[in-house]
Amino acid sequence: MASSIRKRYGLAWPAHREHIADKDISDFAMTTQSTTLPRGSGILLDIKDIHGRFFYPTKDKRFGHVVSAATNAFFELPRYARQLGHELFFGIPVLHDRMMAATPLGMINAKGEPEGTFVCPSNPAVQDLLIDLLGELNTLAPEVNLFLPFFRYPVKRRLTGGPERVHSITEDEALCFCQHCQRGFKAAYGALPKWRIISSEPRAFYDWLEWRCHTIESLARKLLQSLSKEKLVFEMDLCPKRFYLDGLFINNGHDISTLSKLFKKVMIHVFDRSTPIPPRAPTHHIENDIMYMTIERVRRHATVYLMLWNIATDRDLQVAFDYASSVDVELFVLYPNMVPGLVGRCP
């Protein structure tokens, strides 16, 4: 491989876990600082979880959230990273928030029911809140990257049927049909979104998928008007077994071509927990082909980071590191999924 390969290795604790305790955050901060990571390594810590708990001292009372006692990591990690030349990422799941989703800010499904876990990107009140939230963080930690996990629509799609492997979305999982989305969709396509039509007519279905991509793109542009492209790190969720039939990511609101041009840093989060296959594998490895093509497509415009699950042995770590090096991307591994003896062990 060319000498441009960046031998970067990072530890991550994302708020994708259902429950994070104060001790978990403190333990991660202590583990990171007691570990001999190579200079220039990456450290990623989500400082807000999906249940509405903040792990930093926000002063914005509009959120009505619980500020955790484990805010010491928010202040300690920047100092530590600065001293040792590490790149630090603070994760903020801005759209995935169960507490805010229980308010009128939440998404509404095609049945007219609250979805309960995500807020709507087309709601102006949501947009204002997120701009202020990220602006506050930028002021408190100006040298830290702000990572945006779950910057998408919730996806619970499944393969159904026989050999044709048809995708299915149920009415209660079809999002979003709030008043803001209905008005916006009608302005763009000339008619209100009707699930009966969307679910039965291909053109209407892809108009609806396109509209969801538009709402994510519009929110991204609003955030980037307040913060620089170098500051925000966009997460693309890659699970090829789930997404490939409709084209890459379009069914969760991600238009790869557009978003990779908007953001200068992109974290590809690989939810398929299988160990990655080396690039240039036989063509029947459809999941690997899609991962490799996605990386190549995104890297034309942005720095690519790859976050992998399922790192539990020395071999897993070596394979993941070799894969990231072979495709010339930065590697993050999830600390909660690693066995203790692997923490800080860099091939």
pLDDT computed for residue 34 by the predictor: 62
Between CA 174 and CA 170 the distance in angstroms is 6
pLDDT digits 0-9 by tens, 139-155: 999 999 999 999 999 87
Between CA 48 and CA 53 the distance in angstroms is 6
Cis peptide before 176 (omega within 30 of 0): yes
Residue 70, pLDDT above cutoff 80: no
Residue 347 belongs to a domain = no
Residue 325 belongs to a domain = yes
Which CATH number do you get for residue 95?
A: 3.20.20.80
pLDDT digits 0-9 by tens, 236-267: 877 554 444 444 456 788 888 899 899 999 98
Could you tell me which of 16, 184, 203, 186 has the C-alpha nearest to residue 96? 16
> Percent of the chain having pLDDT more than 90?
33
Output the pTM of the full model.
Answer: 0.86
Between CA 347 and CA 327 the distance in angstroms is 16
Residue 1 belongs to a domain = no
| Matching residue, tokens 């979003």 | 176
* 158-160 vs 166-168, strand pairing mode: antiparallel
272-295 in b/e form (b: 16+ CB < 10 A) is: beeebbeeeeeeebebbbbbbebb
Phi, psi of 244 (to 5 degrees): -70, -20
Domain that holds residue 48: 9-342
Domain tally, the chain: 1
Between CA 161 and CA 181 the distance in angstroms is 31
Residue 88 belongs to a domain = yes
End-to-end CA distance of the chain: 17
pLDDT digits 0-9 by tens, 87-104: 889 999 999 999 999 999
Residue 134 belongs to a domain = yes
